[in-house]
């Protein structure tokens, strides 16, 4: 099978540091290991491929050589933002009314995390954060929604989660976020725990409009 243009460019960079045969072997094996297609990059594919190539290069190159090679590969892949633009955004809104909906939101969030290229540990943590937000909706507002938005900005993938309800609001929000207050049901612990595991956290709550929580986590 003929190489795609991007695959050829990657091989050319690898060939500066490896013999042509070894370069082709490393590239084909790392593409297979990462499970991606260079003909249509999806969300998180660049990061996943870079990590896979880094592992492969470590077997053949000295640390500084591997670093120089990875810098060139990263520059190449970051310059190809347009390749995955049509499939770069995924948006899903889930109505939350019951425990079953919490499970659905958690599973959908974890799948998006996997697609974006988050580590297994972060997949679990973010799925837990989604569960906490969804559970708060069921417990305190009765119903609401979780919106999952997977996209990228300047070549960096991220997952954004929006939890929204029109319930009674949180009257002691400042106390909860300060860590001084924990309700008997554990709501304070859940919110602060969620805030600690993400890169961006915003919450707004009032008796007239309910509660809106927006969190975002970037793929490093």
Q: Is the pLDDT of residue 18 over 50?
A: yes
pLDDT score for 71: 94
Model pLDDT for residues 86-122, shown as the tens digit of each residue: 345 688 999 999 999 999 999 999 989 988 889 999 9
Place of tokens 């906490």: 132
Q: Which CATH architecture has domain 89-218?
A: 2-Layer Sandwich (3.30)
User: How would residue 156 be classed by pLDDT, with cut points 50, 70 and 90?
Assistant: confident
The DSSP string of 94-114 is EEE-SHHHHHHHHHHHHHHHH
Which positions ≥6 away from 162 have C-beta within 8 Å?
Answer: 145, 146, 147, 149, 212, 213, 214
Q: Whole-model pTM?
A: 0.61
* CA 25 – CA 36 distance, rounded (Å): 16
The reported pLDDT for the residue numbered 87 is 42
């Amino acid at each position: 099978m003929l190489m795609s243009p991007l695959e050829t460019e990657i091989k050319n960079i690898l060939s500066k540091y490896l013999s042509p045969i070894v370069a082709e072997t490393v590239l084909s094996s790392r593409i297979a290991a990462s499970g991606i297609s260079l003909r249509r990059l999806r969300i998180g594919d660049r990061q996943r491929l870079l990590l896979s190539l880094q592992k492969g290069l470590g077997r053949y190159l000295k640390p500084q050589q591997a670093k120089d090679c990875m810098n060139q590969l990263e520059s190449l892949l970051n310059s190809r933002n347009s390749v995955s633009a049509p499939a770069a955004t995924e948006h899903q809104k889930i109505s939350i009314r019951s425990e079953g909906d919490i499970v659905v939101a958690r599973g959908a969030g974890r799948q998006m995390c996997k697609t974006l290229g988050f580590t297994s540990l972060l997949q679990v943590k973010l799925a837990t954060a989604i569960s906490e937000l969804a559970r708060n909706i069921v417990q305190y507002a009765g119903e609401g929604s979780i919106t999952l938005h997977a996209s990228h900005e300047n070549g960096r993938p991220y997952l954004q989660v929006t939890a929204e309800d029109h319930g009674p609001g949180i009257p002691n929000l400042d106390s909860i976020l300060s860590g001084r207050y924990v309700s008997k049901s554990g709501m304070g612990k859940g919110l602060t725990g969620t805030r600690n595991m993400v890169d961006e956290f915003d919450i707004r709550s009032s008796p007239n409009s309910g509660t809106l929580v927006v969190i975002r986590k970037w793929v490093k």
